[in-house]
Each structure stands twice: as structure tokens, then as C-alpha cells.
Amino acid sequence: MSVLTQPVELHSIEKLREQELEEARAIQGVMLPGQPLRTDCVTISHEFQPAAEVGGDFLDYFLLPDGMIGLYLGDVSGKGLPAALYAALAVGTLRGVHKTGQPPARVLSVLNERLLLRGIPGRHSAIQYAIIDSFRAQMRIVSAGMPGPLLIRGEECSALQLAGIPPGLFSGVIYDEFTLDLEPGDSILFCTDGLTDARNVHGQDFELEGLKDICRRHAGEAPIDLLNHVFSAIQEFSKHCCQWDDMTAAVLHYAPSPAGCGPVSS
């Protein structure tokens, strides 16, 4: 190989890698919700900002066959393309489980065992999985290694104290399910730790208290507006600093109509 051809070949390899990453990002985008979910009682919106071309966070919300709403949010260990590939594995496995209508605790138990069958050293996935029953005004949720979520009720904001071992680490894990009775006007912020771990030039983290403060000041606003306030505040807090972790969040707002809760609206 001549010296003259080396820069040309390196340029071609770099261009190919850029194209592959762009395609990977497009594929990852398809795995996210295409639009907000709206019913007569519930509205859900989301925001996804990977730290690199692709990320290890994943998210979806959907209507289940029994009329309930499912929502999951996950965060794979690591970053970049390897984390994105493991996230795709976790999502594919999870989608094969939640469609059966099993309770959240059972869904995570099955996910855990199936990820262990395809174990990858150094990889696991923190996750929250919730089922919202708008007819009974309840949310059942299981959390494993994730922050929050935050319940915004009136002008107050509090973190639900949930704990669990991330799937893909140990066999035989039993997950505890938490039931939250929803009240009209409630909002719930689900997020990965990329939001709370955002850092400023002084080495300080945004932290959970930063999120709570934003939620209190903008309580009652539409999910997309609250998300805009949250991400704008983090961007301002961490300006002049590189984003070093994926940031993903979803907001669920419960506001039943006088006619009651019906099917998903168009």
C-alpha cells in the first residue's frame, strides 16, 4: 500500500462508519414512540437525547389489549453503539413479554431470566415498567435501578421510593410491585439518571432536587411543556460542559374527562 492511498482509504472508512452510525440512530429512533399518547384520561409525551450518535436508553408507551396503558423506561450500562445494541436486545425481549398482559413484577422477572440466557459480560439494564389503569385510576409499577419516578400532585413533587436489582445480573430475582392511586391533575415524571447526573463547570450535579424544583414550578402544565422546561433547565445548568450520559424522560398526566375514560383518541 502506498503512502498516498492511506489517507483516501482512511477517509472512506470514516465515512462508512458515519453512515453506519447514522443508520443505527435511525433504527433506534424507530424503537421510540412516534408521537404522544392521548386518551380521554391520560396524556404521555417524551424526550430522548443520546450523548453520542446512539445511546443505551430506551423507552416506549402503548395501549395494551385490555385497554390499559403500558410504559417502560430503561438505561443500559455503558454508552455508544455497544450500549445501543444491548438496548435493542432488551427491548426486543421485553416486547415479547409485556404483550402477554402479565403484571409488571412478572414481566421484569421473565425479562431478567431471558437476558441471563443471552448474558453479555459487563452489561445489564436498569428499568422501570408501569401499567396504568385509567378506569380504576391506578398505576402499578416495578423499578429496578432507576431514579424516581417523581409524582407531581398539586404544587408538591416527591420521588417514589422504589428499589430493585437491574435485570441481567442475577437469577431468581423477585421484584416488588408498587401501586399508586391516581388523583385528577397528577403528573408523573419518569427519567434516566442522565438528567440527575448532568454536571456543570463547577463539577456539581443537577441532582434529583433540581428536577423536583422544576416540577414544582411548572406543576399542572402539559407533559410536553414540562419536558421542555426540564431539558431547558438542564441545558442552562450544564452549558459549556459536554453531555456525557444519555438523557431520556417521559411525563404522564392524568386528567379524566367528565364523560369518563375511553379509548385512545386519534
CA-to-CA dists, residue 17 to 7, 13, 20, 51, 131, angstroms: 15, 6, 5, 17, 39
For a pLDDT cut of 90, what percent of the chain falls above it? 55
d(CA 153, CA 184): 9
Per-residue cell: 180: 399508586
pLDDT, position 228 = 97
Please list, residue by residue across 183-207, b when 16 or more beta carbons sit within 10 angstroms of its beta carbon and e when fewer do: eeebbbbbbbbbbbebbeeeeebbe
Per-residue confidence band for 257, with pLDDT thresholds at 50, 70 and 90: confident
pLDDT, position 28 = 63
pLDDT, position 77 = 82
Architecture (CATH level 2) of domain 31-254: 4-Layer Sandwich (3.60)
How buried is 255 (Cβ within 10 angstroms: 0-12 exposed, 13-18 middle, 19+ buried)? middle
- Does residue 90 or residue 52 have the better pLDDT? 90
CA-to-CA dists, residue 243 to 44, 148, 202, 225, 249, angstroms: 25, 21, 14, 22, 15
Cα angle 247-252-100, degrees, rounded to a multiple of 5: 95
d(CA 120, CA 108): 18
pLDDT, position 19 = 67
pLDDT, position 265 = 43
- Does residue 256 or residue 119 have the better pLDDT? 256
In the predicted model, what is the mean pLDDT of residues 96-112? Answer: 84
How buried is 15 (Cβ within 10 angstroms: 0-12 exposed, 13-18 middle, 19+ buried)? exposed
CA-to-CA dists, residue 180 to 16, 71, 96, 160, 263, angstroms: 49, 15, 26, 9, 22
Q: Which of 19-33, 82-96, 99-113, 143-157 has the lowest mean pLDDT?
A: 19-33
For a pLDDT cut of 70, what percent of the chain falls above it? 85
* Arithmetic mean of pLDDT over the chain: 86
In the predicted model, what is the mean pLDDT of residues 95-107? Answer: 81
Question: Among candidates 55, 61, 63, which has minimal Cα distance to 73?
Answer: 61
pLDDT at 151 > cutoff 70? yes
Per-residue confidence band for 127, with pLDDT thresholds at 50, 70 and 90: very high
d(CA 150, CA 187): 8
Question: Among candidates 230, 241, 232, 248, which has minimal Cα distance to 54?
Answer: 248
- Does residue 143 or residue 96 have the better pLDDT? 143
pLDDT at 53 > cutoff 50? yes
pLDDT at 7 > cutoff 70? no
pLDDT, position 253 = 97
pLDDT, position 181 = 97
Prior bond of 149 cis (ω within 30°)? yes
pLDDT at 262 > cutoff 60? no
pLDDT, position 175 = 94
Per-residue cell: 151: 409524582
- Does residue 138 or residue 82 have the better pLDDT? 138
CB 242 within 8 A of CB 50: no
In the predicted model, what is the mean pLDDT of residues 234-259? Answer: 89
